[in-house]
Amino acid sequence: MTSPADGTMDIDSGDNHTQHASREPKAERPFDATIFNSDVCNAIEEQMKVPGAQISPFQDPEALQNDDSAILFNIILKACLGESPMTVEMCKGVLLCCGDLKSALNKAYVNKSFNDILLHPNMPLQVLERVPKKEPTISPSSSGGIKDDQVLGVKAGFERPYIGNAAKRFIRTLNREREAFGRNTAVNNPYNFAISVVQSSGTGKSRMVQEAAKTVFTIPINIRQESKVAERAYPPPDRSLRGFFEDRVNYDDDQQKADYMVLLTVIFDKTQQIIRQLFRGSTGAALAHQWARYLGTDETDIEVGKLRKDFYDDVVKTATHICRHSVPNLVKLELSLQTSCKRLVATVQPVLDNTNTCFMYFDEAHLLTQEIETPSETHQRNPFHNLGNVLSKLVNYRIFFIFLSTNSSLKGFAPPASYYTSQRSIDGSQLVAPYIELPFDINAVTPVDAEHPPTLESASKVGHMVQYGRALQMDLHVADLSGRRYLSLCNG
C-alpha cells in the first residue's frame, strides 16, 4: 500500500465551508466538530482514489487493514490541526506502542464518527489542546489533592499502557529481599517483610503497585483521609477500612495489635473464600490478573467499585464484631493469623519457590504515622509501629507488605532498632530500606521530528514541559489545559 509522498494529503480542497475558511490557518480557527468529521470522511474517500497505489487503503468498510490505521491517524491529525505533526511512518510507530489507540481508530472508522477519538489520552498534546473538553473533567493526594475537573484525567492516566519497567524492577527488588532471607543469619534477617515507598506526589507510586498487581497477587488497601469536596483524589479510598484504623488510633498498643491481627485474619480468610468460589483452578499470575480485574470492576474516579466496597465492608463488619465480642489473646490471635496467611499463600501459589506469592499494600499510609496525642505506659507506639509488630509474625510466609506515602520524613517509616528490642533479637533486627526509585521524565518518549525540530518557543510551552518531571504532570495538563494545576503542582 502506498500513500502520498509526504505522508499527508490535502483535505482542504473539497467542501465550500473549508474553502471559505482557508484564508486563516486551521489551528487558529475555532474548532468545529461537524466540519472536522466531514473533512475526515472526505479525506478517506480521496485516499481510496489515490492513483498508482498497489493496494488502495480503506477497502474494507468494516475494519482497518494493513496501513489503514496509520493513514487514518495522519488524516485525523491533519483535519484537526491543519497539518500533521507526524508522517504516516511516524504514525505507524506510535500505533505500535498504543494498541488501545489503534482499536479506537478502528471503532471510529466503522462508525464513521471521529470526534470522540480526539479526546483519546494517547492523542498528541496539540490535538488535546485544540479540542474543547466535553464537560468539566477531574483532582491528587498520592496524586496530590487535585481539582474536580481533573480527577478523570488522572484516572485516564492509570488506564493508559504502562510506561517503563518500574513495576518489574519493584517486583524484582522485593524478590531479592525474599531470596536473601534463607541465606542470612538470624540477626541479619528482616524484622518483617514490609517496605515503605516514599516519594513526592504524582511520581507513580500507586500506579506502580497497581501494575505489579497484574502479575503478583495483591490485596490493595487505600486509607487516604477525606479532603475538601473540591479537591478529590485518585485512586479512591476504602472508607470502611480507613474508618477501622481511625477508630483505633488512641487504643493502647496491645489492643491495636490484637485488632490488627483480627482484621488481617479476616481479610485473608475472605479473600481465600472468593478465590475458591470464583477463580477455582487459577493460580499465580493468571489468578493475580483475574483478582485485580475483579476488585477494579466499576471503579470510578471518586468511588471504588461495588465488588471491592462490599468485600471490605464485609471484612470490617466481621472484624469489628470479633473485636467487640472477644477477649484479646495475642498468642491465640497470632496463631490464627499465621494459619489464615499460610492457607491463602498456598491457595494463590501451591508451588514453593523463593519469590513473593502475595503483596498487600497500604496507599496513603501516612495516616498510620501520626504522633500519639496522649502517650501513656500502655500506649507508646503509633499505629504503624504496632501494625509492623503484627506483620513480624508473618515473616515466614511469602507475603510482602507495602506502604505508600508522600511523607518526606522517613523516621515514621523506618523506626530505629531500639523499638521492640527483645522481639527483634529473636525474630530478626533488620528493616527493609524505604524504596524511592520511581522514574521521572517518562513521558519524554516522542522522537524528535527532523522536519519540525524543537524551538526555544515550543520548548517553553507548558505542553512541552509536562513531558518531564513527575508522571502526573502530563495527566493534569491533559485534564486542565490552562496550565494552572501544572504550575501549582510545580510550586509544591
Report the C-alpha gap between 82 and 94 in whole angstroms: 20
* Residue 464: predicted pLDDT: 66
* Residue 444: predicted pLDDT: 64
DSSP character at residue 234: S
* Residue 83: predicted pLDDT: 81
Scanning the structure block, which residue is given the C-alpha cell 496513603? 364
* Residue 135: predicted pLDDT: 42
Spatial CA neighbour of 295 closest among 279, 281, 283: 279
What cell does 154 get?
A: 488522572
Upper half-sphere CA count for residue 209 (Cβ side, 13 Å):
28
* Residue 23: predicted pLDDT: 45
State how far Cα 366 lies from the chain centre.
19
User: How many C-beta atoms lie closer than 10 Å to residue 167's C-beta?
Assistant: 20
Report the C-alpha gap between 211 and 64 in whole angstroms: 30
- What is the mean pLDDT of each successive set of 10 residues along the chain, which is 492 residues long? 44 42 55 88 87 77 89 91 82 76 88 86 75 48 46 59 83 90 61 81 80 95 72 80 94 96 98 94 93 91 90 97 93 97 96 90 87 88 92 94 74 49 50 75 59 70 66 61 48 48
Spatial CA neighbour of 404 closest among 247, 271, 233: 233
Judging by beta carbons within 10 Å of its beta carbon (0-12, 13-18, 19+), is residue 152 exposed, middle or buried? buried
What angle, rounded to 10 degrees, do the helices at 68-81 and 99-111 form?
A: 80
> Domain map of the chain by residue range?
16-130, 157-427, 445-490
Beta bridge partners of 262: none
From residue 206, how far is each of 184, 203, 369, 403, 406 by CA, in Å? 31, 9, 19, 10, 11
Report the C-alpha gap between 289 and 291 in whole angstroms: 5
Q: Which helix (H) or strand (E) holds 346?
A: helix 330-348
295 near 220, Cβ under 8 Å?
A: yes
Q: What are phi and psi of 338, to 5 degrees?
A: -65, -40
